[in-house]
Chain A
Amino acid sequence: MKDKKLSPAFLMPLFGFLLWFFAQRLQFFVSIFLPTDYPLLSIFINIFIEESLKLVFVLLSSFILAKLSMPHKTALLAIIAACTFASAENLGYLIAFPDSAVFLRLLYSTPIHCISTVLFVLAAFKKPGGKTIHKIAIAFAIAFLWHSLFNIGAWYLPAKWIVIPASILNTLALSFLFFLTEKTFVSGGYLHGRI
């Protein structure tokens, strides 16, 4: 019976697209009330909106999956939604500026959304005796700062300057998160504190 359940993976692209759509609408709505003289303020608010929506989505999906008696690692499927979110953003840029330079976003923009989502999933994982709320707050702060760092870098520097350091930083962060997820969801339950 368990195998016949619909995998949440199939729903994630739809959720990712909806997230992107809501983020766009919300950013547009908020921008009406923002002063035009402070572009940095608008950048920070946009980042806050995007990261908040992703965090809410990850927390909700973790909660629903727990109710469905699915292991917490299933929440990692939220990364499909993050990839869809990033792809929708990239497609928007490709349509607006049909240039091969848009492909560079795969190196510095797409990983940002994935990094924050994996961070949120790891933070939402309840360990016995752990303080989940603190972890979530720290994860949100890291994700917000990471996203801000790249967006401000892209604002001030030309794309060709930012792509190489950004892709190196993103690769390092993704590698670190990969081993962290391995430690948490693969061997963590068996070897916790024993090696």
Chain B
Amino acid sequence: MKLAKEASFVLKKLLIKDALLRLWHRLQYWLVILFLLYSSLLCAGFFIPYPSMVFYASLLVAAGFLPAFVFWPEKEEPFLDLVKRIDYKMAIEAWLEYKKGPLSLPIKKQAEETLRTKSDFYKFKKAPKPFITYCSALALAIFIISQSVSLYKGYGYSFKKIDIAKKSTIIVKPEIAQEDKIELSHSEEAVLNENIYSKKQKSFERSEAKIELSEDFFAGLPSEFLAEENNGSEKAQERSQGKGQIDSENSDTAKSPSESFSQKAAQKQAGTAGKKGIEEGEEAPNNSMAESGKASAKGSGQALQADPIPNYQAIFEKAYIDKTGKVAALAEKGDPAFFNNAITQYFGSFDLNISLNTSLEHSLEQLKHAWIKAMKEAE
């Protein structure tokens, strides 16, 4: 006793809707349980120093159980539940039960009529189950607590497990650092000054390394660039001289690779000389920084002062012109977005390196400071 095409289509549609609704409920269960587990692990990480592997392994296992939620067999009979929900007059149930007989036609007609009306008015909206509501609320509460704890402890917003032991060695309260500074004797100050000098020296060495990196970066340019470089060196030199904003080194930008290499070697020598000068008590770091082109110079003549904020555009221009000889190329393009993008790409990795080293040096500095103090007390 097959249903008419239209009624059959409606029943199939209802079945698919019901299946999708149950699938959505199962996904909700999975999501809520996963979120609860994630929040709990995140929160526990601030109080219990468990290994990070546990955090990731738990999430990996929990996420991997999604198919189990999708294919979980229903205890009840979802089809009969659906029929009971849509069929108050039991017309469809009667059609399902009545296999064959003299009343086949009227029963079928009644079932088809019921299905036609349900196609327009039946909606599958259901309130979420209490388990999902309570679990979501609990997970959200734990997540908010964990973020509050994270902010309170000075970790910022944390979306993955925090290594408490690692962080505690880095954090030093500012008031303690201030106290230590006040109690410093002359000898300690000398040690600190030496420390600052070594930091500056490292910074200078890093700037040298950056130049080397930039050399390597442009070293892989195609041969046509190098040919252009040789041909247009004179033009480039004129343009760079006319530009005025670029410091004296930039006028030598359009040199051949061998020349620029020798120039770099000379720069290194100057840097070494600068270091020696520092040892003799001169103000060499600033000069060497100006020489290396890491910080842009303002003013002219003897009033040259290193800008504490490096002019990335100038540095990039220098490196670009140094290798390509296309001093006007960037200006002629007239596309600031292109230029900014190039600068961002060029300096991206350097920024990462600098921030990492800074935090490490700070902690080491504090450690060294504490060690000197302890040794002083022991004496």
Interface residues of A (CB under 8 A from B): 71, 73-74, 76-77, 79-80, 82-83, 86-87, 90-91, 94-95, 98, 102-103, 106, 110-111, 114, 118, 174, 177-179, 181-182, 185-187, 190-191, 193-195
For window 281-295 of chain B, which residues contact chain A by CB distance below 8 Å? none
Q: Which of B62-70, B116-124, B216-224 contacts A (4 or more CB under 8 A)?
A: B62-70
CB-defined contacts of B2 to chain A, threshold 8 Å: 193-195
Q: Considering the chains assembled together, what is the distance between the CA atoms of A77 and B8 in angstroms?
A: 31
- Verify B11–A195 contact, CB threshold 8 A: yes
A83-B67, A94-B57, A103-B63 provided; 8 other pairs, C-beta below 8 A?
A: A71-B73, A73-B74, A76-B72, A95-B53, A106-B60, A118-B71, A178-B23, A186-B15
Minimum CB–CB distance for B233 against chain A, Å: 43
- Verify A91–B68 contact, CB threshold 8 A: no
- Verify B60–A178 contact, CB threshold 8 A: no
Q: Considering the chains assembled together, what is the distance between the CA atoms of A102 and B8 in angstroms?
A: 46
Minimum CB–CB distance for A2 against chain B, Å: 11
Q: Considering the chains assembled together, what is the distance between the CA atoms of A91 and B60 in angstroms?
A: 8
Minimum CB–CB distance for B2 against chain A, Å: 6
- Verify B19–A186 contact, CB threshold 8 A: yes
Interface contacts (Cβ under 8 Å), in number, total 90
Q: Known: A190-B79, A195-B3. Is A79-B61 also a contact (CB below 8 A)?
A: no
CB-defined contacts of A71 to chain B, threshold 8 Å: 73
CB-defined contacts of B60 to chain A, threshold 8 Å: 87, 90-91, 94, 102-103, 106
- Verify B61–A82 contact, CB threshold 8 A: no
Q: Which residue of B lies closest to A195 (CB)?
A: B8
Minimum CB–CB distance for A186 against chain B, Å: 5
- Verify A94–B53 contact, CB threshold 8 A: yes
Q: Considering the chains assembled together, what is the distance between the CA atoms of A169 and B70 in angstroms?
A: 17
A-B contact pairs, 30 of them (CB 8 A): A73-B74, A74-B73, A76-B73, A77-B72, A77-B73, A79-B71, A80-B68, A83-B65, A87-B60, A90-B61, A91-B57, A98-B53, A98-B56, A103-B63, A106-B60, A110-B66, A114-B71, A174-B67, A177-B71, A178-B70, A178-B71, A186-B15, A186-B74, A186-B78, A186-B79, A190-B79, A190-B80, A194-B2, A194-B3, A195-B12
Q: Which residue of A lies closest to B78 (CB)?
A: A186
Q: Tell yes or no: B364 within 8 A of A by CB.
A: no
Q: Tell yes or no: B330 within 8 A of A by CB.
A: no
Q: Considering the chains assembled together, what is the distance between the CA atoms of A109 and B1 in angstroms?
A: 45
- Verify B79–A181 contact, CB threshold 8 A: no
CB-defined contacts of A77 to chain B, threshold 8 Å: 72-73
